Amino acid sequence: MGRIFSLARQHIVPRRCRAASGRGGGFFLKTGRDRPPYCAGTVFSWQWGRLWNIVGLIAILPAWQPVSPYEHPFNQVPMQENNFLSTKNIPVHDRLIFALDVSGPEAAKQLVNQLGDSVSFYKLGLQLFMAGGYFELVRWLQDRGKKIFVDLKFFDVPQTVRSAVRELKKYGVSFATVHGNDSILRAAVEEKNGLGILAVTVLTSLDQADMEDLGFRADVRDVVLSRARRALEIGCDGIVSSGLEAADIRQELGDRLVIVTPGIRPVRNLDDQKRTVDVEEAFRNGADYIVIGRPIREPVDFATPREAAESIQERIRTLFEGQHP
């Protein structure tokens, strides 16, 4: 028995030193290369006395658990969180915009009724526009106290875009998206008169490889920042941007633009969106609003769309607790 403890004393290092060894498990052999210099004080030594060695060995054996060295706190790099949480005077409940991407007005009304007061802001896109009854649906939503984001991404010659914005103003919607170069954005801004013009930066369904396929030889982040700068200079009210670039925009341009962030995946991403973030990350990176469609419309972790929307609203309330109601 004495021989066993003698060998243990000479060749085994207790659990405290395993992170420095770069190996998993609770012990490692104390060969010349393996012994970390700062663990010398924990090596079983005759200086502690034979009885202390035995007691120490017995004490640590029940607590031993194999742990990967990558999980040990000595080896972990702390995650840095951005702190660009919006301070704009926006009702917390309005910060969630639901993408009403369904097959027609009747399906849209059914879903709106199902969501009830869990959603107060709706985005209406191209699918509903092509289904017919688009502006009748806008009026129907407004009669129920809902806010509207018209996401038709106007992209045409400047005069046509100017005329489109002029016609849209009479419906009293909150936001409209415009895509294109400076002259297109400028034409929209010149006619906005209270309508919030959002410049599209880079679609969240595009990644770096897609951008290169389109002929861009710049990093996605650089393209987004360039378009955000131009939108601000021209007089746009805000931009549509992935949450991945929102922090860079806030860092460079401050709080002067509204940032609307689509591509939100509350838990996991199973669809065609590529540059995604979750709810908390989007807002901490500087988003003022988030746009969510499929995770609410086709919930994976909830029984109904309303439950999914309410869960997201609760997460938003927790983030903005103490700010505007």
Instruction: State the number of CA atoms in the 13 A half-sphere of 324 facing the CB.
Output: 12
Q: 174 and 298 share a domain?
A: yes
Q: What is the pLDDT of residue 284?
A: 95
Tell me: do 96 and 155 sit in the same domain: yes
Which segments of 61-193 does DSSP mark as H helices, in order? 105-115, 126-131, 134-143, 158-168, 182-191
| Catalytic (active site) residue 274 | no
- Work out the average pLDDT over 110-131: 98
Are 185 and 112 found together in one domain?
Answer: yes
Strands 12-13 and 28-29: antiparallel
**Position 118 in a domain:** yes
Range 128-132 average pLDDT: 97
Mean pLDDT is highest, among 18-27, 42-51, 122-131, for 122-131
Residues 40, 117 within the same domain: no
Assess whether 111 and 256 both reside in one domain: yes
Model confidence at 74, pLDDT cuts 50, 70, 90, reads very low
Average confidence (pLDDT) over 69-90: 62
Candidate list 153, 169, 170, 192, residue with the active-site label = 153
Q: What predicted TM-score, i.e. pTM, was given to this entire model? A: 0.71
Q: What is the mean pLDDT of residues 275-291?
A: 90
- With cut-offs at 50, 70 and 90, classify the pLDDT of residue 242: confident
Question: In this predicted model, what pLDDT tens digit does every residue of 139-170 receive, in sequence order?
Answer: 999 999 999 999 999 999 999 999 999 999 99
Q: Are 110 and 67 part of one and the same domain?
A: no
Q: Decide which of 75, 100, 129 is a domain's last residue.
A: 75
At residue 207 the predicted structure's pLDDT band, cuts being 50, 70 and 90, is low
48 & 126 share domain: no
Residue that finishes a domain, picked among 43, 75, 107: 75
Looking at 75, 104, 120, the residue that finishes a domain is 75
Residue % of the chain over a pLDDT of 90: 59
Mean pLDDT of 53-75: 45
User: What are the beta bridge partners of residue 240?
Assistant: 200, 260
Of 255, 273, 266, 290, the C-alpha closest to 149 is 290
Strand partners, 122: 98, 148
- 86 in a structural domain: no
- In total, how many domains does the chain have? 2
User: Does a structural domain hold residue 11?
Assistant: yes
What is the pLDDT confidence band of residue 297, given thresholds at 50, 70 and 90?
A: very high
Rg (CA), the chain: 28
Q: Which residue has the higher pLDDT, 224 or 105?
A: 105
Please report whether residue 199 resides in a domain.
yes
In terms of domains, do 180 and 49 share one?
A: no
Range of the domain at 14: 2-75
Asked whether residue 162 falls in the same domain as residue 57, the answer is no
Band of residue 264 on the pLDDT scale cut at 50, 70, 90: confident
